[in-house]
């Protein structure tokens, strides 16, 4: 079987973790990494023996591009890659925009004969699948998702957003449980010289990522001691016929990367069946995300 050629687009925490995840999968290989032209000259020992380009066209045939860029840049990048006939996987994280994004991009994907799996991270993504499955087990009931527990976890989307604000030198945005099914944010910000903290606070609190949850902002000299890559979630469904609980905890970019890389398979499976279009994580059969050459492989431990 031909191996799938995968490109990593963006070289942040998730992009790096995707490289590790691809190396664990014998059915695909890393064709190269796409970075901003301005970053190409940066020395980076983790990119040794890796082709690094600023335009995906330079990589030749790429079956699937893993979009490891900020969520807000994802829609435009999908459009560009679809126009080139390249399939994509991303972990777009704005829940309320997923359905409209899927609808909008699905049209051109079908014309261009490409496939995208969008929102293929953990939440939205695998957690969404858990929530759907819990409804199947208990038709009536109430589901809550609680992030971060008492210690809090680093939200990648929120952190990237704060870092993009002018005057912010570095930042980490934590999500903490705030009672069952509710959360609050703690943002640690390291400022550039002469930065206007009032304007920065205003920009954070007005942003879609923060405006619906209690958010505490703290200016610190260095974010080092507040930084972490850990995160966690707990999903509970109480119902008439059954109670269910699912929890996940670990290194956020690492397990996000696992999910994205597994989604490469679902993407290629859809492409090979000519099921062109844009799909959320729960719209493809879970068997299509698994490694293995045969039904027996994939159903092992079923």
- Return the ∠ at Cα 92 (arms to 70 and 202), rounded to 5°: 55
Beta partners for 30? 6
Find the binder of a second copy among 51, 129, 195, 220 (CB under 8 A).
129
| Least distance (Å) between residue 25 CB and a second copy | 7
CA distances to 21, 77, 138, 180, 286 from 42, rounded to whole Å, are: 23, 23, 52, 44, 39
- Nearer to a second copy among residue 176 and residue 257 (C-beta): 257
CA distances to 1, 58, 102, 162, 175 from 159, rounded to whole Å, are: 40, 31, 25, 5, 10
| Least distance (Å) between residue 103 CB and a second copy | 7
- Nearer to a second copy among residue 25 and residue 51 (C-beta): 25
- Work out whether 284 is an interface residue with a second copy (CB under 8 A): yes
Find the binder of a second copy among 35, 102, 154, 185 (CB under 8 A).
102
- Work out whether 269 is an interface residue with a second copy (CB under 8 A): no
3-state secondary structure labels for all residues of 93-141: CCHHHHHHHHHHHHHHHHHHCCEEEECCEECCEHHHHHHHHHHHHCCCC
| Least distance (Å) between residue 100 CB and a second copy | 9
- Work out whether 98 is an interface residue with a second copy (CB under 8 A): yes
Find the binder of a second copy among 21, 86, 200, 204 (CB under 8 A).
21
| Least distance (Å) between residue 190 CB and a second copy | 28
What is the enclosing helix (H) or strand (E) of 61? none
Task: Tally Cβ neighbours within 10 Å of residue 157.
Answer: 17
Nearest CA among 50, 5, 284, 242 for reference residue 135: 242
Q: Is 186 in contact with 173 (CB distance < 8 Å)?
A: yes
CA separation for the pair 255, 250 (Å, rounded): 7
- The SS3 of residue 28 is strand
Phi first, then psi, for residue 130 (nearest 5°) are -60, -45
Binders in 209-268 for a second copy, by CB under 8 A: 239-251, 254-255, 257-259, 261-262
- Work out whether 197 is an interface residue with a second copy (CB under 8 A): no
| Least distance (Å) between residue 292 CB and a second copy | 10
| Least distance (Å) between residue 237 CB and a second copy | 9
Tell me whether strands 230-238 and 142-147 are parallel, antiparallel or unpaired: antiparallel
Binders in 54-73 for a second copy, by CB under 8 A: none
In the numeric block, which tokens belong to residue 147? Answer: 């992030």
- Work out whether 24 is an interface residue with a second copy (CB under 8 A): yes
- Work out whether 150 is an interface residue with a second copy (CB under 8 A): no
- Work out whether 51 is an interface residue with a second copy (CB under 8 A): no
- Work out whether 12 is an interface residue with a second copy (CB under 8 A): no
Specify the stretch interacting with a second copy by CB under 8 A; choose among 34-42, 117-125, 162-170, 188-196: 117-125
Quote the distance between the C-alpha of residue 252 and its chain's center: 9
Specify the stretch interacting with a second copy by CB under 8 A; choose among 54-62, 72-80, 83-91, 125-133: 125-133
Q: Which residues of the shown chain bind a second copy in the complex (CB under 8 A)?
A: 21, 24-25, 95, 98-99, 102-103, 119, 122, 124, 126, 128-133, 135-140, 143, 239-251, 254-255, 257-259, 261-262, 280, 282-287, 289-290, 295-296, 299, 301-302
């Amino acid at each position: 079987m031909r191996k799938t050629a995968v490109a990593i687009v963006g070289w942040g925490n998730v992009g790096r973790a995707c490289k590790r995840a691809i190396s664990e999968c014998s059915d695909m290989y890393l064709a190269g990494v796409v970075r901003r032209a301005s970053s190409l000259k940066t020395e980076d020992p983790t990119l040794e023996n890796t082709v690094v380009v600023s335009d995906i066209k330079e990589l030749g045939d790429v079956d699937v591009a893993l979009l490891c860029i900020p969520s807000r840049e994802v829609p435009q990048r999908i459009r560009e890659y679809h126009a080139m006939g390249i399939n994509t996987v991303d972990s777009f994280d704005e829940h309320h925009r997923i359905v409209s994004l899927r609808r909008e991009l699905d049209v051109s994907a079908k014309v261009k004969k490409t496939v995208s799996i969008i929102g293929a991270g953990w939440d939205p993504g695998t957690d969404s699948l858990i929530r759907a499955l819990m409804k199947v087990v208990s038709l009536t009931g109430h589901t809550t998702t609680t992030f971060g527990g008492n210690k809090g976890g680093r939200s990648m989307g929120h952190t990237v957003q704060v870092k993009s604000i002018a005057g912010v030198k570095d930042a980490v945005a934590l999500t903490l449980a705030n009672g069952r099914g509710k959360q609050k944010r703690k943002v640690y910000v390291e400022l550039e010289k002469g930065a206007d903290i009032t304007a920065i606070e205003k920009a954070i609190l007005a942003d879609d990522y923060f405006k619906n949850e209690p958010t505490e902002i703290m200016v610190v000299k260095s974010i080092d001691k507040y930084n972490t890559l850990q995160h966690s979630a707990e999903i509970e469904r109480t119902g008439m016929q059954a109670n269910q609980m699912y929890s996940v905890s670990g290194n956020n970019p690492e397990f996000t990367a696992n999910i994205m890389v597994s989604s490469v398979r679902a993407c290629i499976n859809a492409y090979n069946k000519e099921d062109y279009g844009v799909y959320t994580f729960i719209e493809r059969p879970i068997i299509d995300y698994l490694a293995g050459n045969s039904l027996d492989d994939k159903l092992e431990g079923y």
